[in-house]
Amino acid sequence: MSKPDVRDVTLVEAVNLALAWEMEHDDNVVVLGEDIATNGGVFRATVGLKDRFGFKRVMDTPLAENLIAGTAIGMATQGLKPVAEFQFMGFIYAAMEQIVSHAARMRNRTRGRLSCPLVYRAPFGGGIHAPEHHSESTEALFAHIPGLRVVIPSSPQRAYGLLLAAIRNPDPVIFLEPKRIYRAVTQAVDNNGEALPLDTCFTLREGEDVTLISWGACVMETLQAADKLAEQGIMAEVIDVAAVSPLDRDTLLCSVAKTGRAVIVHEACGNGGVGAEIAASIAEGAFLDLQAPVVRVTGYDTIMPYYRNEQAYLPEVGDIVQAVEQVIAL
Amino acid sequence: MKHLHEFHVDSVVYLDDRGEPLDELPHQAKDTQRTLAAYRNMVLARTFDSKAIALQRTGKCGTYPSVLGHEVIGTAIGQSLAKTDVFVPYYRDQAAHILRGVSLSEMLLYWGGDERGSAWKACPEDLPIAVPIATQCCHAVGVAAAIRVRGESRAVVCCVGDGGTSKGDFLESINLAGAWHLPVVFVAINNQWAISTPRSIQTGAETIAQKAIGAGLPGHIVDGNDYFAAIEALDNALERARAGKGGAVIEAVTYRLGDHTTADDATRYRSAEELREAWEKDGIKRLQNYLHNAGLWNPEKEQALQADCKQTVEQAVEEYLATEAEPPTAMVDYLFDSLPAALASQRERIAEKYRGGES
């Protein structure tokens, strides 16, 4: 056995590590996108891959998101496993027709003859003082589409394990990377090629009084809120949903059955968000266990403000604590 | 002023409207077996087409797009593609599909509302029919990129209509094919009409083929009703692509002799006179005249072929009509490689509701 390769890495470095591992071990894995080869990606997620694997497998594309999505589909139907990068989620909408009408449907409409084993990666969310169109969280658009998996890591370890799982998954995966925490923390990641399961939530902290449900960058504030609540003697269970579609309802319902209370935290606006689906699932599946209404702490139902006001839009620790105090009081 | 470059678009036709050679024919004309096989395929496609329309009119098939006027270019595509090449069709490529080995009953299943109509057994790597206009062009460059990544001597043919050439998907894809030097041949089938939108409204460019030049690809125009012009252009472009010399755009000029689909009525927007003139250029009649003049065809052979095609089509129709619908649970069975837990209870609900319909 070779020596374990454990590295302290950030979330974006974990993405790079997973890409390199899988390219090393599977010749069918290729990466494509804008500025990803020689430049190594605007966030450095693909840095070094071109030097290791060459232009043949690390492809700079013309600046056309719809083309990137469709090209990846064509590659995937022939057995390659493309990982296509959208530079920012705000530019993914040009690719919606390809993603919705083809990637998500290829297996179904050919009755399994062809499939789309691909990953669409995109940095998403606010909090880094980026220009307009660079800060939205629209995961719900994709969660609504049958045939897509939507996966969102919230730590370096989960970025590594979930990205490996996404690449190995035989169906299309939208892999959304919360850029606010791309470099927020480092974590020891064992670079051993071990994937995490795609269809399960991750329980990050156990507690009996309330279930806090979140994903992406907001997991950070949610964990901080749980710390604060513990100081008051309120023991919160914290669940990172990670795969917002298909949704692991069992883990969520079991937790709510235990705690009787649920607060859902996400950065995207609340209206029609994934939090609404989770709240509905709890109402359908755990209504009699509830001791208080399900509460959501989300972004406002408005356009993401430019960066002078973006902090006012983002859910904060205090908002989460307040929401929990409200449901505990009932 | 510095003169940088000159571009040209060639335009080829060999047979006039009556099937008389206008010029020395390409070497493909010497292959009489292939030419006769082409003619038979065109007649089969047309026979199938009129039956499919009749099935729709009598409520036995869903909305269907007629192949009338596309039989010649479709046949040339089907013949020029090697088995190992990949075909990326749009939705009026019946003549090419037959040559790829797609069965007539599979085609009817697709338009008859059954997903199994795209589960083609004979050409497992070909892409299914693309309904959203021009979206298939992006897939074609992806398939061609996969071929290049693996260093294979194969090529891709992608069909798109004249309407489709207005979409970004087409323009972005030919652009990538040029930039990445991909083995993909785009056949822009210019049938003059995109439902009711005439070719003149699609673009101010004099030809569609010239759009290739801006993408760094050669652009050719062929008379899409002239089998020899079409097969020569396709053979050459595919040979070049397989040899690693890059892609091409071929504009095949034809005319949509039928309605857009069975849900359309073209008399609302185009004249009987225009349609009558287009019929005079019909490529099937043209090739039949040529074969007759060359001593390769006669009325007896024609009669036998018509009877044979009719029988083949009738057989396919019987097979199609005898195929039972899939159980309703099939709607979730092919969504993912394996059924996620989140869908298991919904599958049970469907099975429960349609108990007895389970396979």
**Which ipTM did the prediction report?**
0.96
From B124, B135, B142, residue closest to A113, measured CB to CB: B124
- Alpha helices by DSSP H, listed for B81-123, are 94-100, 104-111
**What's the CA gap between B16 and B13, in Å, rounded?**
8
Burial of B283 (0-12, 13-18, 19+ CB in 10 A): buried
Compute the CA torsion angle A65, B138, B260, B232 (nearest 10 deg): 150
**What's the CA gap between B71 and B45, in Å, rounded?**
6
Please, which residues bridge with residue A60 across strands? Answer: A33
Beta strands in chain B (DSSP E): 10-12, 86-88, 156-161, 184-190, 193-194, 197-198, 219-223, 248-253
CATH 3.40.50.970 correct for B10-325: yes
| A64, B142 contact by CB (below 8 A) | no
How far does the CA of residue B326 sit from the closest CA of chain A (Å)? 11
Among residues B100, B139, B260, B286, the one annotated as catalytic is: B260
Q: Is the dihedral of CA B71, B73, B78, B79 positive or negative?
A: positive
Among residues B70, B139, B154, B256, the one annotated as catalytic is: B256
Other Cβ atoms within 10 Å of A210 Cβ, number: 27
The letter for the amino acid at A326 is: Q
**In this predicted structure, what is the pLDDT of residue B358?**
47
**What's the CA gap between B93 and B226, in Å, rounded?**
17
**What's the CA gap between A205 and A259, in Å, rounded?**
13
Looking at chain B, the domain(s) classified CATH 3.40.50.970 span 10-325
Query: Searching chain A, which residue's CA lies closest to the CA of residue B156?
Result: A74
**What's the CA gap between B157 and B249, in Å, rounded?**
10
What's the Rg (C-alpha) of chain A? 20
Contact A74 B140 (CB under 8 A): yes
Q: Which of B103, B114, B96 is nearest to B42 (CA)?
A: B96
Contact A62 B172 (CB under 8 A): yes
| C-alpha A299, offset from chain centre | 17
How far does the CA of residue A6 sit from the closest CA of chain B (Å)? 32
**What's the CA gap between A306 and A133, in Å, rounded?**
9
Q: Which of A118, A238, A224, A122 is nearest to A182 (CA)?
A: A122
Contact B342 A199 (CB under 8 A): yes
**What's the CA gap between B58 and B112, in Å, rounded?**
12
| B173, A70 contact by CB (below 8 A) | yes
Token match 């057995």: residue? A79
Contact A110 B119 (CB under 8 A): yes
Q: Which of B87, B125, B336 to mutate to test the interface with A (most CBs of A within 10 A)?
A: B336
Coil/strand/helix, residue B127: coil
Query: Searching chain A, which residue's CA lies closest to the CA of residue B169?
Result: A67
**In this predicted structure, what is the pLDDT of residue A287?**
96
Q: Kindly report the length of chain A.
A: 330
Provide the number of CB pairs (under 8 Å) joining chain A to chain B: 143
Beta-sheet strand order (sheet of A295-299): A202-205, A236-240, A210-214, A262-269, A295-299
Q: Is B176 on the interface with A (CB under 8 A)?
A: yes
pLDDT per residue rounded down to tens, chain A (330 residues): 578 999 999 999 999 999 999 999 999 999 999 999 999 999 999 999 999 999 999 999 999 999 999 999 999 999 999 999 999 999 999 999 999 999 999 999 999 999 999 999 999 999 999 999 999 999 999 999 999 999 999 999 999 999 999 999 999 999 999 999 999 999 999 999 999 999 899 999 999 999 999 999 999 999 999 999 999 999 999 999 999 999 999 999 999 999 999 999 999 999 999 999 999 999 999 999 999 999 999 999 999 999 999 999 999 999 999 999 999 998
Q: Which of B24, B171, B157, B16 is nearest to B86 (CA)?
A: B157
Q: What is the pLDDT of residues A201-246, one digit of tens each?
A: 999 999 999 999 999 999 999 999 999 999 999 999 999 999 999 9
From B88, B137, B334, residue closest to A107, measured CB to CB: B334
**In this predicted structure, what is the pLDDT of residue B204?**
96
From B137, B149, B336, residue closest to A57, measured CB to CB: B149
Buried b or exposed e, range B207-244, using 16+ CB within 10 angstroms: bbbbbbbebebbbbbbbbbbbbbbbbbbbbbbebbbee
| A176, A89 contact by CB (below 8 A) | yes
Contact A113 B127 (CB under 8 A): no
Q: Is B144 on the interface with A (CB under 8 A)?
A: yes
Coil/strand/helix, residue A274: helix
Tell me: cis bond preceding A246? Omega within 30 of 0 counts: yes
Contact B127 A108 (CB under 8 A): no
**In this predicted structure, what is the pLDDT of residue B6?**
87
Catalytic center residues of A? 134
Token match 């972005």: residue? B172
Task: Domains for chain A: give ranges and CATH numbers.
Answer: 6-190 (3.40.50.970), 202-329 (3.40.50.920)
How far does the CA of residue B54 sit from the closest CA of chain A (Å)? 25
**What's the CA gap between A72 and A91, in Å, rounded?**
16
Contact B143 A69 (CB under 8 A): no
Q: Which of A199, A228, A196, A209 is nearest to A319 (CA)?
A: A228
Query: Searching chain B, which residue's CA lies closest to the CA of residue A70?
Result: B138
From B115, B135, B175, residue closest to A108, measured CB to CB: B115
pLDDT per residue rounded down to tens, chain B (359 residues): 888 888 999 999 999 999 999 999 999 999 999 999 999 999 999 999 999 999 999 999 999 999 999 999 999 999 999 999 999 999 999 999 999 999 999 999 999 999 999 999 999 999 999 999 999 999 999 999 999 999 999 999 999 999 999 999 999 999 999 999 999 999 999 999 999 999 999 999 999 999 999 999 999 999 999 999 999 999 999 999 999 999 999 999 999 999 999 999 999 999 999 999 999 999 999 999 999 999 999 999 999 999 999 999 999 999 999 999 999 999 999 999 999 998 999 999 999 999 864 44
Contact A97 B135 (CB under 8 A): yes
**In this predicted structure, what is the pLDDT of residue B359?**
46
| B254, B191 contact by CB (below 8 A) | yes
Buried b or exposed e, range A275-310, using 16+ CB within 10 angstroms: bbbbbebbeebbeebbebebbbbbbeeeebbebeeb
Contact A71 B336 (CB under 8 A): no
**What's the CA gap between A231 and A96, in Å, rounded?**
45
**What's the CA gap between A241 and A245, in Å, rounded?**
9
Q: Is B14 a catalytic residue?
A: no
Q: What is the pLDDT of residues B204-237, one digit of tens each?
A: 999 999 999 999 999 999 999 999 999 999 999 9
Q: Kindly report the length of chain B.
A: 359
**In this predicted structure, what is the pLDDT of residue B356?**
62
Query: Beta strand pairing status for A119-124 and A173-178?
Result: parallel
